[in-house]
Amino acid sequence: MKDDTTSPEKQRAAVEHWAHGPSIEGRIVGWAEDVDVSGAMHPFKRPGLGPWFTERADEWDALAVWKLDRLSRKAGHFAEIFEWCQKHGKTIVSVTEGIDMSTPMGKMFAQIIAAFAEGELDTIRARALSGSMARKAKGVWIGGVLPFGYRFERQEDGGKKLIQDDEYANLLRDIVEKLKSDWSSYKIAVDLNKRGVPTWRDYLRIDRGDEPKGVAWTANAIRAIVTNPTVGGIYTYKGETVADDDGEPVRITDDPLMEYGEWAELVASITANRPVSRATPSRSMLGGVAVCDACGARMSSSKKTKENGRVFHYYACNNINTGTCFDPGRIRREDLDTVVGQFVNVTLGPLPVMERVGNSISQAKTELVEAEAMLDRLEADYLAGRIKTEVQIERYWKQHESQSAKVERLRKEIKEAEDAPAWKETGRSYAEEWAAKDDEQRRVFLQRHGVTITVGKNEEGNRRVVCKMLELAEIAKETGLHVPEGYWMTEPEAEFVLPARRPYSAG
């Protein structure tokens, strides 16, 4: 509610009284009212006042305002207006402050008042920022769309905190378990769409009684959900982690969807080991995994229809159609799938599946990225001159010292962990894991464990498949696990030849 003494009507009356006074006897040619416009907006850009400097500059001689802070609260903006007026033969008058900028004394007072006006605006902004930061520091949710799997809970002293939404908190945990079981994010999205599970936004619309938009789940949406820090109970605002006075991440809830360490490990696993989400359905187990020995390009699945109507599926070098591979690899899909299955079931089969103990190091790496980003933001604000008041400066140095010490500590922890990596058994063998997965999961499993599959030819011209698991040697060295020597194999028994201009056929 506006004070009557500063209402637009009162301001207009004061300007009219000045213009029609005996010392001026002027004529008012128009009015500019920007009632709901911030005093920090440049006057040239205001919808009401702006056109008088551009389109209607020839229609007036003096700009009369109730007070100078009605014109601008920025000293820099005020200086630009004053310079423009001098250049165009105009003057500025404050009718209640008795300032006429056509006089030397008026010019001096105008500059002083404008400086105070800018200081007042900075004070208002600092007060608002302080209140916002106080709410953030208490973990109070101050705006934005509800993060996945949470609901609002009103606080007695105002504001809102987040609590788990039972239905979608369970859905999140189901998604996480599937990712840990080598489901790709694409496969999860397809499964949710088939089951008719609403996306989070549609779920909220339904809960409000609104009509859902029927938006489909996507692989990118799945990844975005599980990698959001709010899953681990960390507050984010406009895409950035919110920090307290010591620069530590603010917690949004005492009961997060996942414990922070578990979430950090999952994110590290997804970003470091998992393949990029597929935009289209997978047509094969080894598409994008098998590699052409001649040129190193990935191999994709394709099919060939014979004259008799029989359809054969192949893995072929991706460069086969560009002519950039001198001897492109090509092999029937069922043959390569069989060979890789034998490699996993026979060579690796009885060996225990080992997972790197990465919880502490994954969490440390995640925290290090956040701490370094916090330091970058602090230093950028300082260099840009956005930290001005004593309170802001004191807060800056406290956060900077805390985050610098944290970065140094985390770097030391990570180095020590990397110098002494450890492995743990999952309790399952490779054969057991393989038997429990479909083709989509098997592809992810191979990629996650660094299994390479190369298709080429031997000296006799027969096709040769080499399967390797590079991390196996590291596991054996560190744990004493017995691994069979020379675990590569060629295709057994049958030879496959390449007749001129025809696909491979069994020889």
Residues constituting the chain: 507
Q: What is the pLDDT of residues 298-331, one digit of tens each?
A: 998 888 776 677 888 889 898 887 778 888 888 8
Measure the CA angle with vertex 221, ends 216 and 222; round to 5°.
Answer: 105
Residue 39: pLDDT band with limits 50, 70, 90: low
Is 498:487 a contact under the CB 8 Å cutoff?
Answer: no
What is the structure's pLDDT at 283?
63
Give dist(CA 476, CA 493) in Å, integer.
31
What percent of the chain shows pLDDT beyond 70? 74
238 pLDDT more than 80: no
Reported as a pLDDT band with limits 50, 70 and 90, residue 130 is: low
Predicted structure pTM score: 0.49
pLDDT tens for each residue of 178-205: 888 888 888 899 999 999 999 999 999 9
- What are the tens digits of pLDDT across the range 371-384? 887 788 888 877 87
Least confident range from 124-133, 143-152, 431-440: namely 124-133
Q: Which of 60-74, 266-280, 400-414, 446-460 has the lowest mean pLDDT?
A: 266-280
Distances (CA, A) of 423 to 349, 354, 474: 18, 6, 10
Per-residue H/E/C for 303-328: EEECCCCCEEEEEEECCCCCCCCCCC
Q: By mean pLDDT, which of 91-100, 357-366, 461-470 is the weakest? A: 357-366
Write down the pLDDT at residue 492: 28
Contact 153, 161 (CB under 8 A): yes
Three-class DSSP category at 413: helix
pLDDT at 504 over 70: no
Does 132 or 286 have the greater pLDDT score? 286
Helix H or strand E encompassing 105? helix 104-137
Band (pLDDT 50/70/90 cuts) for residue 36 is: low
In tens, the pLDDT along 409-459 reads: 888 888 877 666 567 777 888 899 899 888 888 888 888 888 888 888 877
Q: What is the DSSP code string of 459-489? A: TTS-EEEEEEEHHHHHHHHHH-----S----
pLDDT tens, residue by residue, 254-274: 789 998 878 877 887 776 544
Q: How confident is the model at residue 501 (pLDDT cuts 50, 70, 90)?
A: very low
Highest mean pLDDT among 121-125, 129-133, 295-299, 370-374: 295-299
Please report the beta strands in 328-407, taking only residues with DSSP state E, as ranges in sequence order: 330-332, 352-356
Q: What is the torsion angle, in degrees rounded to the nearest 10, for the CA atoms of residue 134, residue 139, residue 141 and residue 145?
A: 130
Q: How confident is the model at residue 168, as a pLDDT?
A: 95
